[in-house]
Amino acid sequence: MATLFEMEPLGESGLKLNEAQKRAITHGQGPLLVIAGAGTGKTRVITERIRHLLQSDDTLSGENILGLTFTKKAAGEMKARVVKATGERGKAVTLATFHSFCETLLVEADPQRVMLDKFDHWILLRRNLRRLRLEKYRRLADPGQFLNDFVEFFSRCQDELVTCEDYQRYADGLAARLEAARETLDQDTLAEHLETVALQQELARAYRASEELLAEKKRVSFGSLITGAVGLLERDRELRETLQKRYRYILVDEFQDTNIAQLRLLELLATPTRNIVAVGDDDQAIYRFRGASFGSFKLFLERFAGWKQGQDSTPFRVTLTENYRSTPNILRVAMQVIAQNAVSADFPKKVLSPNRPAGEKIRIVELATPEQESRWVAAELERIHGAGRRWKDFAVLYRQHAHRDHLVEELSRRKIPFVITKLSILEHPVVKDVLAYLRLIATPYDDIACARVLGAPAWHLVAADLVRLVERARKDKRSIYDILQLPQGQLAFDQSPAALGQLVEFVSSQRKTLKRSTARKILGSLTEWLEVAQRAKEHDRKYVTRLAEFMKEW
């Protein structure tokens, strides 16, 4: 029977494992940090380690292994590789994103909980604006102006395990220190500090109000999934010990992207055995805006290995430096950019070694505007395609989703076919709007769905109109949709757009067909009524079509 290292890798590179990879894969008990440079086979290390654990211990079940990463795609790919290598035993291995793992824990603890995306969280706050008691952050012309920032800020606090009570204490501390120093400050400085304290107190009130609203509605915001799971495990000793016994080995991918909340979750799960292998690259932290950085590596060694700064960390870490992905030319350019990153004395600088031929030289093209960039890219695609390459041979990368729009417009104008990857149909804005209409038809008292529908330009409502509408609904203790059905003169805004009557009429007509119709038929009627085929852009229509196909399948 072949040994682990004689087996072919999981259909990927055909290369045998190098010594650093072998050490990471065959690591025994206790914590290990694997610092893996780009293209050095870190995903392979995780999947091969799972295979090694299962093959070296017949008593170990797949249920005893937990693997956590940051994207559904990565979790799915690892699962497929593990199952291919280990068969039935591998099917029981838990491979999930941090957020999906935590969502499962919270829903199992309370099945009534529902997760809100950021937009629905915004709507919840918008509908309960009075509860936030805003003064400094409220503008009469646009009362919800700062709510997007609030949602992001609350999520950022939760990444660092800063609760609303913690933030209130911080704001109170600022106020107390200012009061103690009041007599020593001139009027201008005092006024400036008073303004800062007032803003922080208002943020603290709004944060607390947001958490109270979520609890009352049994909703969980995306940002609070991990902190909610941490709180649950800290409170529920029986559940914590059950999970600790279940997951004898824990593996974490992309560890450089972990934040304080995720580290705390791992602590709660990995105690007392601390059989945890974390794989990451300090040069690839893409979630620094969410509190992640190479500092996570230090915290891992401190919390799981008992390491102290200045001590030798080599017994607890392995560094992978053999690059199997990139040509030397690409690697040289990339390393010149990465060399600008901050370096920690506790983690020696990595020097990656290429294992491929030199490859083509790198071209750098500088252009003045995003529009010029998009035109140049599209023209290059047409030129190379004209020389005989297929459209599916091309890939275009961009740094942020905001950079996509100009490129999409240019490709569409030139009729160049394209697919936007990693954009779920359910996350597409047009599909979210369509789903809100369907939710309103199914449950007219769903105020979040109704508010999203009314926010569409077709109904000509300005923010002030929507505020008055919501306040009237709250005052009458009725749903927003109920208020929409009042005679025109009784509505909360001065001049009711005639289009709103059409909306009410359409929703009412579709509700009469609910018992004898299907979701797919109602979707067809809806998209026809909204004139999606005529009004939506071509690349948006594809997502609505895929939604219809999804409904047909299910």
Give the 3-state secondary structure of 512-543. Answer: CCCCCCCHHHHHHHHHHHCCHHHHCCHHHHHH
Domain co-membership, 429 together with 547? yes
Q: Which of 425, 475, 426 is nearest to 120 (CA)?
A: 426
* 169 pLDDT above the threshold of 90: yes
Q: What is the mean pLDDT of residues 130-144?
A: 72
Q: Residue 16 above 80 pLDDT?
A: yes
Q: Which of 172, 200, 221 is where one domain is finished?
A: 221
**Is residue 346 domain-resident?**
no
Q: What pLDDT sits at residue 483?
A: 84
Q: Would you say the pTM of this structure is higher than 0.95?
A: no
Say whether both 137 and 187 belong to one domain.
yes
Whether 438 has a pLDDT exceeding 60, the answer reads yes
Whole-angstrom Cα distance, residue 479 to residue 470?
9
Residue 130 lies in a domain: yes
What is the amino acid identity at position 544?
A: V
Q: Phi and psi (nearest 5°) for 317?
A: -145, 155
Nearest alpha carbon to residue 433 among 416, 449, 414: 449
Is 208 a residue whose pLDDT tops 90? yes
Give tens-digit pLDDT for 239-294: 999 999 999 999 999 898 888 999 999 999 998 889 999 998 877 665 444 444 55
Q: In CATH, what number is assigned to the domain containing residue 234?
A: 3.40.50.300
The string of pLDDT tens digits covering residues 320-361 is 988 888 888 888 888 888 777 666 666 667 778 888 788 888
Q: Residue 432 phi/psi, 5° resolution?
A: -60, -40
Output phi, psi for 495, to 5 deg.
-125, 110
Residue 89's CB is within 10 A of a number of other CB atoms, namely 20
* Nearby residues of 440 by Cβ (< 8 Å), 6 or more positions away: 446, 449, 450, 453, 481, 507
Cβ of 204: how many Cβ atoms within 10 Å?
Answer: 20
CA distances from 330 to 281, 282, 335, 362 (A): 18, 19, 9, 7
Residues 255 and 35: their CA atoms lie apart, in Å, by: 9
In this predicted structure, what is the pLDDT of residue 129?
Answer: 84
Counting the structural domains of the chain, the total is 4
The pair of structure tokens assigned to 325 is: 């992905």
Nearest to 501 by CA among 466, 458, 462: 458
CA distance 399 to 377: 15
pLDDT in tens, 28-63: 999 999 998 888 888 889 999 999 999 999 899 999
Same domain, 209 and 241: no
SS3 67: strand
Residue 318 pLDDT exceeds 60: yes
Asked whether residue 332 is assigned to any structural domain, the reply reads: no
For a pLDDT cut of 70, what percent of the chain falls above it?
Answer: 86
For the chain, how many residues are written?
554
d(CA 296, CA 311): 17
Residues 217 and 314 in one domain: no
**Are 393 and 530 in a shared domain?**
no
The predicted-structure confidence for 383-409, as pLDDT tens digits, reads as follows 999 999 998 899 999 887 767 878 888
Interatomic CA distance for residues 299 and 341, integer angstroms: 19
291 and 381 share a domain?
no
Whole-number Å distance between alpha carbons of 51 and 45: 10
Taking alpha carbons only, the member of 418, 420, 414 closest to residue 378 is 414
Instruction: Select from 297, 324, 351 the last residue of a domain.
Output: 324
102 CB contacts (<8 Å, ≥6 apart)? 225, 226, 228, 229, 265
- Asked, for residue 8, whether it belongs to a domain, the answer is no
Give the CATH number for residue 474.
Answer: 1.10.486.10
**pLDDT higher for 417 or 25?**
25
Helical packing angle, 98-109 and 260-270, nearest 10°: 60
The tokens describing 102, both together, are 């935590």
Question: Quick check: 352 and 41 in contact, CB under 8 A?
Answer: no
Listed ranges 42-51, 148-157, 201-210, 284-293; the one with the highest mean pLDDT? 201-210
Tell whether 443 and 536 lie within a shared domain: yes
- By DSSP bridging, strand 32-36 and strand 317-320 are parallel
Name residues whose C-beta falls within 8 Å of residue 1's C-beta, 6 or more positions apart in sequence. Answer: none
Cα torsion angle, 540, 424, 151, 70, sign: negative
43 with 139, same domain? Answer: no
User: Tell me, what's the pLDDT at 5?
Assistant: 35
Q: Are 8 and 32 in contact (CB under 8 A)?
A: no
How many CB atoms lie under 10 A from the CB of residue 312? 9
**Same-domain pairing of 286 and 402:** no
- pLDDT at 554 (0 to 100): 47
CB 288 within 8 A of CB 256: no
Decide if 499 is inside a domain.
yes
Residues facing 252 on adjacent strands: 68, 278
Residue 329 lies in a domain: no
Asked if residue 338 belongs to a domain, the reply is no
- 99 and 237 both lie in a single domain: yes
CA–CA separation, 170 and 196 (whole Å): 12
Whether residue 553 is predicted with pLDDT greater than 60 in this model: the reply is no
pLDDT of res. 242: 97
**Cα separations in angstroms, 370 against 60, 160, 406, 521:** 54, 35, 7, 41
Contact 60, 54 (CB under 8 A): yes
Average pLDDT of the residues of the chain: 84
CA angle in degrees (0–180, nearest 5) for 106-110-113: 80
Would you put residue 193 in left (φ > 0), alpha (ψ -120 to 50) or beta? alpha
Per-residue model confidence (pLDDT) at position 85: 85
Residue 13 has pLDDT above 60, yes or no: no
Burial of 258 (C-beta count, 10 Å sphere; 0-12/13-18/19+): buried
Q: 211 and 237 share a domain?
A: no
Q: What is the largest CA-CA distance in the chain?
A: 84
**Which residues span the domain enclosing 180?**
117-221
CA distance 165 to 167: 5
Instruction: Write the single-letter amino acid at 191.
Output: A
Residue at which a domain ends, from 221, 255, 289 = 221
Does residue 331 lie in a domain region? no
DSSP string, 345-379: TTSPPP--EE-S---SPPP----SSHHHHHHHHHH
Q: Are residues 121 and 203 in the same domain?
A: yes
Report yes or no: 250 and 17 within 8 Å, Cβ to Cβ: no
Cis ω for the linkage preceding 444 (within 30 of 0): no
